[in-house]
Every structure is written in C-alpha cells, then in structure tokens.
Structure 1
Amino acid sequence: MPIQRSLLLPFLLACAAAAAQGPRADSTPAVRTLRTHEVTENSHRKSDDLITIGRQTAPTLVISRQSIQLAGSRRLDEVLREQTGMAIVPDLGSGNRSVGIQLQGFSSEYVLILIDGQPMTGRLAGNFDLSRIGVGDVERIEVIKGAASSLYGSEALGGVINIITRQAVRKAQATAGLRSGTYRTTDANASAEAPFKHNKGFVSLSGNFYKTDGFNANSQYLKAGKTSPPYTSFSGQARGQWRFSDRTSLQARVRAAGRTSDMFRSYGAQPFNDHLREQDLNAGLNLRHQASPGTTLLARYYYTGYDTRQTVTLQENGRILQENDFFQQIHRLEVQAETRPDKLPVTFLGGMGGDRQSYRNTGSDIRNIMSGYFAYLQGEFASTETFRLTAGLRYDGNSDYGGRLNLSAGARYSPTSWLSLRASLGNGFKPPTYAQMYQVFTNIQQGYTVIGAHNFAEKAAQLKAAGTIAQIWDNASEVRHLEPETSTSVNAGITVNTGSRMEWQAGAFHHRLKNLINTEQVGIMRNGQQLFSYINIDRVVMRGVEAGWKFSITPNLQLSAGYQLLDARNPAVTDSIRQKSQRYKSVRTPDGIRAATTKDYFGLPNRSRHMGSLQASWAHPRWGLGASFRGTYRGKYGFLDVDNNGYIDQYDVFVKGYTLLYFSVQKTLLQKRLTLHVSADNLTGYTDYLMPSQPGRVFMAGAEWHFFRKKDKN
C-alpha cells in the first residue's frame, strides 16, 4: 500500500518567532575552507529547532557543505564512512541493499537519523539505510557521539546524526548537475531557491535522480547476479518560510523519495529474482514566536512514513519464495520553549509532546499501534565564557512499557584560549520494537528465519509441527518476553590548540547497557537454514578512546588524522568462560577442541578494535581549484561464530583489516558558474566477499552549472 498522501494536520498552538536565520553557505562550490570536519565547542548554529548541537557537552562533529562537495560524496553513507570512529555496516537481511552506521560501538538502531530535526523512519531489523539520503542539497551534517536521549529521545542512546538543509534564502539562484561513472552510475540533481515579498518569505526546491547497475563482490560463490543490486532512486524536497512579523514565522517542508531494485542471483542452484520497492514521505510545520527578548517558543508537527515491498521468486517457475510488505508511519506533535532570565547566567530549554506510530507487516502478527509521550527540561549555567555547566532530565512513556526518567549532565571548562576540557554523563531508556516482539520473517536468499521473542514458543511449535524446523537448541529456553534496554554513558575529552595552525583532541568514552536486545541463533531449519530470535543480554560494556589531530601547513593546505580504540564485550561471556559453563567452556581450533580461556573471547561481532582516518585537503580560492586525498583504516572484526560456543573467539570467521583510499579534485570556471569534478573511490580496488556492499575501484566525473545574477556571485 503506498504512503498516504493526505496528512491529518493538527492545529499548532504555540507561536514562534522569526529568529534571524544565519547566512546560508555559498551555493558555489569554490572551496572557502579546508576544514573537513570541526568540533563545535562554543557555537550555537542557527536552525529551525531550539535543540541545537551547540548545547551538547558530548563529543560533536560538523561536516561542512564545502567538505562534502570537495570529497565528491553523493549519498549519506559516503560522507560518514570517512569520519573517525564511524563504521558503515551492511544489513545482510535486506539483500545487501541497506547500509547503516556504527558509532562508538553502538549499532544503527541506537543512532537517531534526523533531517532538519525531524526523525526519519523506515528501519528494517533496526537498520536505517543511509544510502537512501542524497546530500546534494545539504548545508551541513551535525553528529553527536554518545548518549543524547535526554533531549532527542530513546532512539538516541548511541548518538544523533542531523542532516541540515538550507536554512535561509537571501537571493534567487539555481543549480543543475550531472555525474556518471563506474557501474554505469548516474547522479543528477537540480535545485532552485528564491525569496519573495521583500524577503518576508522564501521557497526552496530540490530533486535528485540516482541510478546504478550494482556489482558483485563475491564472484567466488555467486555464479551470476550482484551482491549489491542495481537500483534506481529519486527524491524531491520543498521548503518554505513566511514571516508574519519580526517576531513570528511559519516554516513548512515536505520530502518524498522512492527506490526500486530488480536483482537476479544464482549460487548454482535455484536461481531467483528479487524485486524491492521503497517509498518514504516526510512533512512538517514549525511555528516560531519570539515572546520576549529572552524567550522563544516553538510548536511543530511532523509526519514521516515508510513503505516497502519485497518479493523473491524462483526464475524457473515464478513460485514466490519470500514476500515482505512493511509499512510504518509516525505522527508527532511537540512544543518547545527556551528562556534566558534577565541578569542571570542561566538558560532553560524545555518541551513536551507525543507521537502515534502504526505498523503493518503482511503475514505477521505484529500489532499495529503504539503511542509515546515525553517531556524534558535542560538548564545551562555559564557564569563566564570559560565555564559552562548543563543538566537535564527527560521522561519517556510508552503505551506498552510505561515510562522512565532519564538524567543527563555535562560541563565544559576553558581556562585558557588554547585549552578546553569537557565531560558528559547521560542515561537512556529504549523499549523493544514490535518487530522484535512479534515478527515471523524468513529471508530465503540469505538463509535464515527470525521469530519474535513474545510469540516464539507458539510460532516455533507451529513450524516444528509443519516439519520445517530440524532442531531447537538449548539456548532457546532464554527466549522470553523482552525487557526495555537501559544505558549509562560517560564521555570526557580535551582539546588543545598549539598556536593558530595546530589542534589536538583526545577523549574517552564508557557505555554500559543493561538488557541489550541481541539477535541470537536458537536452532536449525529442516533445509539447513538458521533460526533466530531475540534475547536480552544482562549487560554489555563498550569503552574506548578517540584522538584527532589537525595541522594547517599553509592557509591553503591542511592535514588531519583520527584514531579510535574500541573494546566492546559482554562481561557475562567472560564470567561463563571462567565458570566453565557448558556452552562456553571450549573452543574448536585447527588442532582440535580445547578448553577455552578468557583470552579467546574477541568481543562483540562486527566491532573493530582499531579504526583510523587520514585526510589532506588543498584549496586555492583564487584559482577556483581544490583537491582532497583521504584514507580510512578498519581493523579486523568478528563475522561468524562457526563452532556455536556463544561468542566470537580467535578461531571463528573474521573480516580482515583493510585500508580504503579516496581522491577528488574540482575546478570552478566562468566566474564560478561552472564546476567540474572528478573523484576516485577505493583507489586500490580492495574487496572482500564478506563485505558484499563494498565496491571495487569507482571513478566518477561530472559538472554543475550555477544560475545567479552576476552581482550576487559572491
């Protein structure tokens, strides 16, 4: 069923003000800055939302429009894959079409994805597909690392990624661009914007078309077809603002996107066709009012919906092997208020609201309605420019699991102009999803079946009676009604500016999760496929350090590097090995089975202990020329527990450590009207069959034309 086009629009009561929008980034791609990313220590970036990145004491990162353009990035995953401590991971269950983000060890379901402050929906198995989002009209990307649930909600236990589009329009202009390259990839975009009524209002439009033939990263086993399938996608966005007065404004936006993919695969027997169609729609209204010089009110409503249908059929007879029809939508209403009392060094930010979520998954027993409600308050104390203290609390309620009060606190201290210290503490609460509770899903091409925890006994018994389950393992006794996940996160860091040309950053983090919902194999199907369900893990610890360095060799040349060390593990596994519990007591080595030791435990799967990045950027604004060379390293990580002893040990299947290199160059001509761009990704052509979404060497080239009045070109 397609996404509903008519939206129920509640009326908005609090008023909001036309807070002055900051000047928008120059739409011409001439490189004005070399900084590929920056940690915002003291800035409060202007946006529609009162909750801004400058309020955070957790580690933050801002990726600028100029950096995105210079790198030649086309989709959101391409931007984030080059950032320190951020890993792109494929979702095998979606046929490798979906790629998610991992942040400080947190998997994708714990990282909130926003566009202009609005949460995006459409997660399958908890994974939000970053490749759905084009970055052609993005002004900047803001990242918060670590717990941010006190202001952003339960999905932000691991962090927030907020994609900010154009926030103000001061002149009429337009852009059209086209790129093409390897794998017959085509990327076309167009945008236009203009103010009206003497700048009392503006309208902005943008669109993107993207098409690729996909690729095969597993020719060793896949005889025909693609591991990353071909697809065609489109997206369009419209945004406008009207100022009723100097104190009140109304902003509206709508974004629609769709993707279709048809894929053929053959592993040597029973070739099949896989068809996928996705649609998503996002719309919102913000009403802002400056009630007094120190008080701002904001009321907003938004709708987000995601609709997907996947069908897998045998090529020889057209018999349906798998059919998945999933639809999710969210209506949310929220009111925010910010006030700065006169003559007091304190700022308060508070808000409250609720949402109504509905789900539909044909063929499953997932209940289709869930409601949530929330309220939050944060205070910020800044007696001087050198010291800032924040403290907040948030209450999240759920129609099925009740509620919980979450606390947060943070401090930033800058005793000198060259030194800054920060620390933050936060906790969170996340109830299980309906899919984790009630789904029954079989993925034919990847070979597994998943049954929700709350109906596992009933559905497993039905499948066993039908003769489709061969064996249910002993650990299935641990499958029971899921408990909500809770977390406590601590971050601390230091920034040192050794002169105007060099900056050092270092930080440490410690995340402790209780009742982590983990996907675990609990049996074998009759045809040899795996049987999975969901189990609460009592406690998981993820801890590590991050370090970064930036050096401006000249005003036009900058180097930067980053490193993350991560230790992510389940302490219960270590305890079970010490206690020689039945399942954990041995490991299978090339020389046979021996007793396990705690040193055999590598940690949680799909987490690398070592990650690093290196970047060199050069720009000559007078020549309109810029170039960028980047490299990323990801250490080995556990992929599969082959001996079924309950953990990844040193003899299991690992993805080897690897390095990826990228290069791009761009040139502006004709008084900045024309921009030429050439990029090369994965220069060495590195691939691994265990990384089905990693392409080989990719070359792209293209041009953009900018329409503007000559007097406005700067």
Structure 2
Amino acid sequence: MHIQRSLLLPCLLACAAASAQAPRADSSPAVRTLRTHEVTDNPLRKSDDLITIGQQTAPTLVISRKSIELAGSRRLDEVLREQTGMAIVPDLGSGNRSVGIQLQGFSSEYVLILIDGQPMTGRLAGNFDLSRIGVGDVERIEVIKGAASSLYGSEALGGVINIITRQAVRKAQASAGLRFGTYQTTDANLSAEMPFKNNKGFVSVSGNFYKTDGFNANTAYLKEGKTSPPYTSFSGQARGQWRFNDRTSLQARVRAAGRQSEMFRSYGAQPFHDNLREKDINAGLNLRSQASRTTTLLARYYYTGYDTRQTVILQENGRLLQENDFYQQIHRLEVQAENRPDNLPLVFLGGIGADRQSYNNPGSDILRAMSGYFAYLQGEYAYSEKFRMTAGFRYDGNTDYGGRLNLSAGALFKPTQWLSFRASLGNGFKPPTYAQMYQVFTNITQGYTVIGAHNFAEKAAELKAAGTIAQVWDNAAQIALLKPETSTSINAGFTLHTGSHMEWQAGAFMHRLRHLINTEQVGIMRNGQQLFSYINIDRVIMRGVEAGWKFAITPNLQLSAGYQLLDARNSAVTDSIRQKSSRYATVRTPDGIRPATTKDYFGLPNRSRHMGSLQAAWAHPRWGLGASFRGTYRGKYGFLDVDNNGYIDNYDVFVKGYALLYVSVQKTLLRKRLTLHLGVDNIGGYTDYLMPSQPGRVFMAGAEWHFIRKEKN
C-alpha cells in the first residue's frame, strides 16, 4: 500500500501534464454538455473544493440562502428539521445539550458535517451538535443522502451535509441583525466583506452571539432546572482570497466558537450544579491552480480542534459528582486533481491525503492518537446529453484498523426534457470512534453509564468495586474489541416534470450494514438506571421510499411536500425471534407473557416509519413582503425496551407521532436596507417529556440593517 500511495500523486501530475498537450477542440455534444458544469465567468467557480454536489448521482438537496432567510432560521438544526427524511434527535449522552441529525435511518455518527468541504470535529458521544452552527453567514447547504464514502471518507456512510459560506465578494457591504424571543432567546449577527485590488482579492468577516435561558419539557419529574439547558455562545469567522492571476488563487479561512452553560437541577433529591464549557476552532489554507486548460489542482491543509469540560457538583456538600474532559484535534493534508480531456466526454477527479487525529481525557489514563491515509479516483462519462454515468473508488487506511477499498457507481438517464432517472451504488467503511472504544461517561441527569468496549472489563470492575454497579448481565460476554463498520447503499429514483410549473420526485433506498456498532444495555446501576456498552451487530438493513412534489402556482407562490417511509431493523433480532432464542422468545403484553413473532418487532429505536413535510413560500417583490409556512410530521418511534427482551416490540415505550407547524413573515423597507422579521415555531405548542430538546411555542422578532444593499445571487 505504501508503494501505491507514493505513486498516485506522480500519476495524477503526469496526467495533468499530458492533458496540457492534448488537442483543445470541443466538437462533440457530450463534451459541450460537460463544459456546462464549469463556471465560465470565473475559473475559480463558486466553491473552493473540487468535489461538488453536481458530481453525485445519489439523491441530493440544496437549501438556498433565500429559503434560510425567509424561514427565519438561526441555527443549523432549525434549517434541517424541516427537510424530508431528516429528523432532529437529542443526544442524551451529552446531557441534552446537543441535537443531531438522522438521515434515511442513519444516526448522527454516520452523517459527515462539513464547512466549505472540510470536516467538523467534536463528537463527544458520536453525535455532532448541529445547534453549534449559526447560519448567519451561510450561502447554501448541500445534502447528499446515502453512502458517499468513495469521495468524502469513512464518516460519510449515511450522507454528507456541506455548509457553504459566501464564496465570492464583488462589492463592499455589511449588515447587522438582532432577534429576540421566547425563553429570553437573543441572536445577534454582524458581517462585513470587501474586495480589493480590482477584485483580485477579498476579505469577509462575521460574528454571532446567541443566548437562551433553556426550557423544561419534563415538569412532572424535573422539579427545578431545564431539560434543554441555558447557554451562551459566541462564534466568529474570517475568510480571505487572493488571486495571483486568472489561473492561481490562495484561500484562507478560520472559524472559532465557544459555548458556556451553567444551571441548577433537582429531581427531588440531591440537587446539583451542572457546568459545561466547550470551544472549537477550524482553520484551512487552500492553494488552487488551473494547471492547464483541462486540469485543475488543489492543495490544502486543514486543522480542526474541539475542547469540552463538564463538571457536576452536589449542592449540599460541594462534592464533585462528575467530571468529563475531552479534547480532540485533526490535522489533514490533501491534494486534489481534476482533469477534463479535450475531445473526450470524460471528467476525472482524484486525490490523496493523510490526517492525524488525537484524543485526550485530561486527568485520566486515556491518550490516543490515530493516523489515516486515503486515495480516491472518480471518472464521469457523458455518452450524450441524455446519459451520464460515474464510477470511482476510495482507499482509506488507518494505523489501528488497516484499510479498505470502497467503490461507487451511478448513472443519470434523461430520455426526455420532462423525465429523468437516477441510480447510485456505494460502499462505506468506518472504524470505531474513541468514545466507543475507551470513553467512560455517566449522564448524571438520567443516571445511566456508558463504558467503551475496549476497556469494559477493567472499568466495570472498578465501578463495581466502588459500589456503583449492581449487576452486569450475561450479554456483557458479547462485548469484544470492536470491528469496523461497513455498508452498501443503493438509491434509485426518477424526476417527472408535468408542465413548466410542477415537479414530482420519487425514489427508493436500501442500506445494508455489517458490524453496526450498537449501544446495548448490559447491566444495572445501584440507582436503578442502565449500564451500557457497545456491541457489533452483524447485519442491519434500512430501506424505504421517498417522494417529493413541487408546484410553482405563480412565480411568487410555491408549494412543496415530501414523504418518507422507513423500515430499519436488525436481521439478527428477526432470526432470533424465529429461532425462539431464550431472550427473544417472548413478549410481555397487557394480558400477560406470550410467545413472540416477527410481527412484534417494531424495528431499530428512534426511527419513525413515517415522516412528512409541507412548505409554502410567498413573496411580493413590489411590496417587499414575504411569508413562509412549514409543517413537519414524524410518526411514532421506539424509545425504550422495558421488558428487556432485546428489541423494541409494540408494547414497549414509544414517542407518539406528532406534527409541528412554523410560520414566518418578513418585510423590507428603506430601499431594502432594513429587513423586519417575525416568526412563530411550533405553533401548536406541542411537547413531550420523552423529547427533552423540543421546546414549546417560540416567538421570535427582529430586524437586520444592510449598510450596503446586497447584490442578487
């Protein structure tokens, strides 16, 4: 493998040199079709990254800046919660302070979060907290559904969410905004940008302050305190670009953010203070060059770091009850090359790179580091304007787990202007995370404890000797050194245009996972709460269908709707029920215990079979008025296996199905320099104590002042 890595970059550069000598006539229709993918007015395109969403044959979604502004969204989770097939879920392992995304049944650990093509870090319990990211400086959000590991790497088994900040600056402008609402929520934004040297370079800066008092969605049990804690956060970002000439540019960006939360909690006994501090920083440097008319090269370095500290102190005696420190950082170096040969309807995209990841728990005996390396290549072939196909591979290596080759393929067929078909196939590979292997975490608000699989025996023995573990169950014998997870994803669908104003989309997906790392209860704590660890599940299948509809009634009034049907289950559970295995053989019903059947198995927890969305957007440009109405539905989903038979059955604890409605109105004044906004989230005020991060009705109002009117995108 070392020989292959050392040869790949010279091969790419040799390809670039050879293509520079190739003839340059664009004679065939297929070549002209490929050329339309380029941005003709600027060789640097609209994104730093050579990997773009247009190169995907998997289902994709682009959320525009206009949609974000009209909806009045403030944080990333607020944008994504209203999209078809995407569910926002709380991360109880982080004390309800974070929310993650679920995509086509994949939980947050399998969805890669990027900013301008570079990965974010800070997954304390596998979950990336979407509420950390403000959207004040976001130009658009790109979503890829399904395995994208062949281009994006091991964390993209379930999909990719790429947050694109403003890429091009054509004139000096600045804005300031302030919003205030329910739960004493305050959201303040400042941004400014300016080109210089006749647009050879630009610089842009932005900052955000966000504060909320939190809320309590569990008043029946939580006597004092909040299920969604109060916090204050700051974030700032700076971005710059310098164009040496029409072929070469240098881009740099840095983002820093911090959040602090402090509160008092009481469930009726042993009240305590809960303190959390976290900060993260992301920095990148990109050198991009149009090496020839047909070849583009990109070299980049990226650093990201995340640091968090949580302490829980008993009020009555000041004793430190819990302390969780975690630090993670990643250094990554990558070289990309894109080649578009003349006279051939082909595009090649390849790259090589390496990264170094380190994890540290200060005050503990855990200090880990892993190095990774990767190489990928994708080819795109356009037979005609009606047919396009892609195929590629990616090799990911890891110092702890070796490597794996992931393959991908896809096709797009457009027999007419009003009908197109799309299909994709992809593999994925994901090593276990630090938390799954080694971390010991106790959620003091819920009482449960999670121990990593690689040190379970040692740490469980220590806790049992300390008197905190009451019993370790027999299934703990299944805990072993974790295997990497692998997946195969298939997506297929069509798009139909009925007239010039209506579009229909429908598709089906299936994801087969091997060695899925599952969180499983393996014992009982002295306080009656659960003891968890991680166990590989041999076979998991998630399959379903998605459908969408868009109708532009007028240029200023648009409707859209979407639906997802999902079936997610562990095949081993189904087999065990059929085989009448001891733990899976019975089910406890209101009428007593009876033999179980496969129909009793509802599926994986926290997955709804039915999800839907509805959106209506209206604008009146002459009046400077706009309005947006959105609705989401999520069907019931399994929450807790109360009879300990190893799966969620129809008699366990479920979160009931619910619908949430949102409305927002905005008005521009003073020649579009002033924008007023009013919004109401969760109009019906729906809450559930099993959904600790779902607030009740929220009113938000605010204004934004544009010092220089922005150009239309």
Aligning the two structures, in what range does the TM-score lie when normalised by the shorter sequence? Answer: over 0.9
CA RMSD of aligned residues (A): 1.6
Q: Distance in 1 between matches of 2:111 and 2:667?
A: 36
Residues 410 and 424, structure 2, Cα contact 8 Å, conserved in 1: yes
Aligned to 1:291, the other structure's residue is in SS state coil
Q: Is the 8 A contact 1:365 1:438 kept in 2?
A: no
In structure 2, what is the equivalent of residue 95 of structure 1? 95
Equivalent residues of 2:213, 2:230 under 8 A apart: yes
- The question of 1:629 aligning with 2:624 is answered no
Tell me if the contact between 1:43 and 1:54 (Cα under 8 Å) persists in the aligned partners. no
Q: How does 1:395-544 map to 2 (within 5 A)?
A: 395-544=395-544
> 1:163-174 counterparts in 2 under 5 A?
163-174=163-174
- 1:219 match: secondary structure: coil
Matched residue SS, 1:327:
strand
Q: State the distance in 1 between where 2:533 and 2:140 align.
A: 39
The CA distance in 1 between the partners of 2:104 and 2:321, in whole Å, is: 38
Q: 1:364, 1:440 within 8 Å by CA — same for their partners in 2? A: no
The Cα shift of 1:124 comes to 1.5
Is the CA contact 1:75–1:131 (under 8 Å) kept in the aligned structure 2? yes
- Counterparts of 1:125-204 in structure 2, within 5 Å, are 125-204=125-204
Partner of 1:21: none
SS at match of 1:513: strand
Query: Displacement, 1:365?
Result: 4.1
Alignment deviations for residues 59-82 of structure 1 (CA, whole Å, 9 cap, x no partner): 000000000000000000000000
What is the aligned partner in structure 2 of residue 650 from structure 1? 650
More helix by share: 2
What does the per-residue CA deviation read over 1:421-450, in whole Å, with 9 as the maximum and x for residues that have no partner?
Answer: 000000011111122111222222221111
In structure 1, give the amino acid aligned to 2:360. R
1:134, CA displacement in angstroms?
0.2
- Which residue does the alignment assign to 1:373? 373
Contact 2:222–2:267, Cα closer than 8 Å, also in 1: yes
Note closer, same or farther for the CA distance 1:713–1:403 as it changes in structure 2 (3 Å cut).
closer
Match of 1:708 in 2: 708
> Unaligned regions of 5+ residues in structure 1, if any?
1-12, 17-40
Residue in 2 that maps onto 1:76: 76
**Match of 1:299, as an amino acid?**
A
Instruction: Give the share of equivalent positions with the same residue, in percent.
Output: 87
CA distance in 2, matches of 1:639, 1:43: 48
Task: Identify the residue that residue 315 of structure 1 maps to in structure 2.
Answer: 315
Counterpart residue number, 1:348: 348
1:42 offset after TM fit, Å? 7.4
SS class of match (1:105): coil
Residues 1:556 and 2:556 aligned together: yes
Q: Deviations over 1:357-388 (max 9, x none)?
A: 01111354434211000000000001211111
Deviations 1:446-466 (A, max 9, x none): 211111111112222232233
- 3-state SS of paired residue (1:708): coil
Structure 1 residue identity aligned to 2:265: R
| 1:43–1:713 CA distance, 2 compared to 1 (3 A) | closer
CA contact (8 A) 2:46 2:168 kept: no
TM-score under structure 2 length normalisation: 0.93
The alpha carbon displacement at 1:526 in A equals 2.2
Count of matched residue pairs? 677
Displacement of 1:648 after TM fit? 0.2
How far has the Cα of 1:468 moved from its partner? 2.5
Matches of 2:80 and 2:537, distance apart in 1: 29
Matched, 1:694 2:694: yes
Displacement of 1:315: 1.2
Q: Which residue of 1 aligns with 2:580?
A: 580
- Residue identity opposite 2:229 in structure 1: P
Matched residue of 2:707: which SS?
strand
Separation in 2, partners of 1:443, 1:433: 19
After superposition, what is the alpha-carbon deviation per residue over 1:82-123, rounded to whole angstroms, capped at 9, x for unaligned?
000000000112111100000000000000000001100000
Structure 2: tracts of 5 or more residues without a match: 1-11, 17-35, 40-44
In structure 2, C-alpha distance between the alignment counterparts of 1:539 and 1:425, rounded to whole Å? 18
Contact 1:366 1:435 (8 Å CA) reproduced: no
Report the alpha carbon displacement of residue 525 of structure 1 after superposing the two structures with TM.
1.7
Give the aligned partner of residue 24 of structure 1.
none
> How far apart, in 1, do the equivalents of 2:290 and 2:624 lie?
41
Please say if residues 361 and 367 of structure 2, whose CA atoms lie closer than 8 Å, have aligned partners that are also in contact: no
Rounded to whole Å, the distance in 1 between the matches of 2:449 and 2:151 is: 36
The aligned runs of 1:243-262 (5 Å cut-off) are 243-262=243-262
Bigger mean CA offset, 587-596 vs 416-425? 587-596
Contact 1:299–1:336, Cα closer than 8 Å, also in 2: yes
Q: 1:514, 1:540 within 8 Å by CA — same for their partners in 2?
A: yes
- Aligned partner of 1:19 in structure 2 is none
Aligned partners of 1:365 and 1:439 also within 8 Å: no
1:529-560 CA distances to partner (integer Å, 9 max, x unpaired)? 21111000001000000000001111111110
Q: Tell me the CA shift for residue 342 of structure 1.
A: 1.3
Native 8 Å contact 2:672 2:709 kept in 1: no
What are the Cα deviations for residues 163-207 of structure 1, in whole angstroms up to 9, with x where unaligned?
000000000000000000100110000100000011110000000
Match of 1:681? 681
Residues 221, 267 of structure 2: 8 Å contact kept: yes
Q: For residue 603 of structure 2, what is the aligned residue in structure 1?
A: 603
Q: Deviations over 1:135-170 (max 9, x none)?
A: 001000000000000000000000000000000000
Q: Paired residue for 1:38?
A: none
**Which AA in structure 1 matches 2:602?**
F
Q: Secondary structure at the match of 1:457?
A: helix
Residue aligned with 1:250, SS: strand
How far is 1:467 from its partner? 2.9
Q: Is the 8 A contact 1:138 1:163 kept in 2?
A: yes
Match of 1:616 in 2: 616
CA distance in 2: counterparts of 1:713 and 1:518, whole angstroms:
47
- Cα displacement (A) at 1:514: 0.1
Q: Which amino acid aligns with 2:409?
A: A
Residue deviations 1:17-47, cap 9 Å, x none? Answer: xxxxxxxxxxxxxxxxxxxxxxxx9798730
What is the rounded CA distance, in whole Å, between the counterparts of 2:279 and 2:466 in structure 1? 35
**In structure 2, distance between residues paired with 1:601 and 1:364:** 41
How far apart are the structure 2 equivalents of 1:91 and 1:364? 23
Q: Is 2:476–2:522's contact at 8 Å kept on the other side of the alignment?
A: yes
Q: Distance in 2 between matches of 1:635 and 1:63?
A: 24
Residue deviations 1:576-624 (CA, integer Å, cap 9, x gap): 0111101001111112211111111000000000000001110011211
- Give the Cα separation in 2 of the matches to 1:313 and 1:96: 18
Whole-angstrom CA distance in 2 between matches of 1:362 and 1:517: 26
Letter in 1 for 2:563: Y
Q: Distance in 2 between matches of 1:192 and 1:133?
A: 19
- How much does 1:709 deviate? 6.7
SS in 2 for 1:483: coil
CA distance in 2 between counterparts of 1:709 and 1:639 reads 49
Matched to 1:244, the amino acid is F
Amino acid at match of 1:469: I
1:229 aligns with 2:219: no
Q: C-alpha distance in 2, partners of 1:462/1:537?
A: 27
Q: Deviations over 1:621-648 (max 9, x none)?
A: 1211100000000000000000110000
- Code of the residue aligned with 2:575 in structure 1: it is D
